Amino acid sequence: MQFNKDFVFGTATSSYQIEGAHAEDGRTPSIWDMFCDTDGKVFEKHNGDVACDHYHRYEEDIAHIKKLGVDTYRFSIAWPRIFPAKGEYNPAGMAFYKKLALRLREEGIKPAVTIYHWDLPMWAHEEGGWVNRESVDWFLDFARVCFEELDEVVDSWITHNEPWCAGFLGYHLGQHAPGHTDLNEAVRAVHHILLSHGKAVELLKGEFASSTPIGITLNLSPVYAKTDSANDQIARNNSDGYSNRWFLDPVFKGQYPVDMMNLFSKYVHSFDFIHAGDLETISTKCDFFGINFYSRGIVEFSAASDFLYKGAYSDYDKTGMGWDIAPNEFKDLIRRLRAEYTDLPIYITENGAAFDDVLEDGRVHDQNRIDYVNMHLQAVSDLNEEGMNIQGYYLWSLLDNFEWSFGYDKRFGIIYIDFDSQERIWKDSAYFYADVISKHKKAIEQQA
């Protein structure tokens, strides 16, 4: 595999998944603290109170990042640290991210910062959360102080991580905080998340006149039909609409997909939450597009299902999440995005896998994760040969961490965490990734 000299290698995490320090320096609870505390929502009622204790161990973690040799590190900012109460800015919370970004830069690692990775403050939730249109203003207050305090030390901004999860998993499927199951709420939540994205881009580029690149990260999963039958094609179309087009179309085409609006109208009685001008704002041009890729979907027709599809059997090899390993379908996805949606530079802002790791004699021989990462890196390299202009790859994740409703039961890290001692142990995949990066750097030096 080959990458050009400007290609960046990175690794990624998010605030609630690794920080811990849940009540320090003024932080107040987020919807995830509440969700973890609710019976039956999170595996064994695990929570992020301590997580990887990164808040106290960030220097040690930066040393690991440095040793990996990555160019860039993607992390997110905990909103309840920055605004612990409505309208109350907390400089002590911001101080942590300043220290983190400055330290990374001292080590020559570029901070790529996600503003929202799902830890909505409880005060915002109590006022309706993302379902309330005022959430757009609350988010802009948050984005504004992030830009004011951090823009100088940040190399790229990502407004939102995976609005599908924050919106549909959180407000329709009930599997993520806040655990609601109402499509009416979910489409409003998604709309306000996307609108806040567009307004944040306008803010950074307009009022701040900043040249720091900004984009959004969507989780996308190409969907396939079990058979060629007309019914299975309907299933495929609807599943694709729910997972992908409901987000891609507004961001890149300035419209929601009409077929999905019709389908949703069985449950969504009015789309009056879409105000004049919103879609222009949502589709404001960004500097890059972030994609999180993990797997594909395969579906078949189901008359009994709300949107006429259900998951179909797949004989593909699977990760520890039970997700199909699908690097070829990843290629299909990128080609489709290029053909139908965007010519913006693409960054793979997350890719990686959970497996049932075993710690033996101080080592984790996670060949399955190495194979997974290797296949996807090869796919990126192949896609760039075709001219797809992927400019970077962030491996998810640096550390084993709090995997949302799965708690600490699923390990995505390339660094193993002993959650009792907080010891960090490099898995074989970390050595592998460091080796890929080091070979790449040597190859570039030789070409120079």
Sites of contact with ligand IFM (CB under 6 A)? 14, 17, 162, 292, 350, 396, 403, 412
How far is the C-alpha of 47 from the C-alpha of 119, rounded, in Å? Answer: 13
> What SS3 state is found at 393?
strand
Smaller CB separation from ligand IFM, 61 or 350: 350
Smaller CB separation from ligand IFM, 51 or 279: 51
Which candidate in 162, 300, 329, 403 is catalytic? 162
Smaller CB separation from ligand IFM, 47 or 292: 292
Are the C-beta atoms of residues 164 and 221 closer than 8 Å to each other?
no
> What SS3 state is found at 427?
strand
User: How large is the C-alpha radius of gyration of the chain?
Assistant: 21
Min dist CB 13 to ligand IFM, Å, is 8
Smaller CB separation from ligand IFM, 162 or 232: 162
Are the C-beta atoms of residues 294 and 323 closer than 8 Å to each other?
yes
Catalytic status, residue 350: yes
Which ranges of 275-426 would DSSP assign to H, the alpha helix?
A: 278-282, 327-340, 367-385
Give how far Cα 186 sits from Cα of 129, 224, 250, 319, 417, Å. 11, 25, 15, 28, 34
Min dist CB 175 to ligand IFM, Å, is 11
Angle between helices 54-68 and 428-447 (to 10 degrees): 50
Nearest to 162 by CA among 181, 175, 147: 175
Amino acid code (one letter) for 383: L
- What is the phi/psi pair of residue 154, to 5°? -110, 140
Smaller CB separation from ligand IFM, 118 or 252: 118
Smaller CB separation from ligand IFM, 163 or 257: 163
How far is the C-alpha of 425 from the C-alpha of 149, rounded, in Å? Answer: 34
Min dist CB 76 to ligand IFM, Å, is 9
378 Cβ partners below 8 Å, 6+ apart? 1, 327
Angle between helices 91-106 and 54-68 (to 10 degrees): 20
Which candidate in 149, 185, 329, 350 is catalytic? 350
Give the β-pairing of 288-292 and 214-219: parallel
Catalytic status, residue 162: yes
For 183-254, strand residue ranges (E) read 214-219, 223-225
Q: Which sequence positions are flagged as catalytic?
A: 162, 350
